[in-house]
Amino acid sequence: RRTLEELDLYLSLSSDALKTGPADLVVWPETASPLPATDERVLGPALRLEVPMVLGAPGGTPGEQRNSAYGLDGRVAGRQDKRRLVPFGEQLPFESLLRGLYGPVLSRLGLPGFTSVVPGSGLAVLPLRDLRAGISICYESVFPAFSRQAVLSGANLLVVISNDAWFGPGLGAEQHFQMGRLRAIETGRFLLRAGNDGITAAVDPAGRILMRAPRGDRAAFRAPFGQVDTLTPYVQYGDWISRLSVIVLTGLLALRWQAGGRRATGVHP
C-alpha cells in the first residue's frame, strides 16, 4: 500500500505543477513507480497528464528484475533497461563463482539472500514528440560511453534518473551529480536530472547549471532546456582525443627532460 501511495504522490505533484503552466516533458526519478509503466494503475493516470514523460519503474518479464526507464507519450514509447549495475547494490560480483562465500556472509549479516538485478544489453533512445532522450540510470551517468552512444544513435537530449537516497546527507550525491554533469559538456547536450533524494537539476551544453532544486524538498520543479543535434568532437571521435592528448603531452615532457639533461655548466677557476 505504501508504495502505491508514493506513486500517487508523484502523480499529484506533477499534476499540480502542470496546472501552473504547460511543460514539454515530465521526468520522474529512478524507481519512482513500484509497478511497471505498462501496468494500467501507472499507465492510465500518467497518460492523463497529457505530457511526454520519462519515469523509472521495474522492467522485464515475470521472474526477471530489471531497473528501467520508460518513455510515455500517449502510449509506452520505449524502455531503456539499466546496463551498468551497482556492485553489491544491484549485483554481487562473480556471484556464480562465489555463491558459496556470499551465502554465509549474508546470513551472518541477517540477510536472507540477495536477488541480483538483470542487466540490460541494448540501447533505446526514447522518442517523445520532437525529443529523443538518451537515458542514463543512476550509476551509468558516471560513464561517458553511455551518453556518447545515445547521441550517436540520435539523442538530442540527455536525461539522468537517479535514486541517491542511500547516500544520506553525505557528499556522495554531490559527487555523483558533478560527475554526470560532464556528460552535457562532452556531448553538447542539455541534461535533465531527477533524483528522489539526490540532486534534481538542469545543465546546459556548456555545463552551466540552469536550475538546481534544494535537497529534501518534496515538490515538482520547472527547468529550462533545449534540444541540440550537432555532434561534438568527443562524440565523433570518442576517447581518441584524450588518448592523443596524453601521448602528445608525454612526448613534450620527454623532450623537455632530454633537453634539460643536455645542459652544460661552465666553471672558470
Cell for 182? 560532464
Which residue in the list 40, 50, 82, 90 is annotated as catalytic?
A: 82
138 catalytic per annotation: yes
CB 26 within 8 A of CB 49: yes
CB 187 within 8 A of CB 145: no
Residues 6+ apart with CB under 8 A from 100: none
DSSP 8-state code for residue 197: S
Which residue in the list 90, 95, 138, 140 is annotated as catalytic?
A: 138
CB 89 within 8 A of CB 116: no
Q: In degrees rounded to 5, what are phi and psi of residue 96?
A: -65, -30
Q: Starting at the earlier edge strand, list the strands of the sheet with 157-162.
A: 126-128, 131-137, 157-162, 191-195, 201-203, 209-212
SS3 assignment, position 55: strand
40 catalytic per annotation: no
N-term to C-term CA, the chain: 94
DSSP 8-state code for residue 78: E
Which residue in the list 5, 6, 30, 186 is annotated as catalytic?
A: 30
Cell for 22? 504547460
Cα–Cα–Cα angle for 70, 75, 78, rounded to 5 degrees = 35
CB 158 within 8 A of CB 201: no
Active site residues: 30, 82, 138
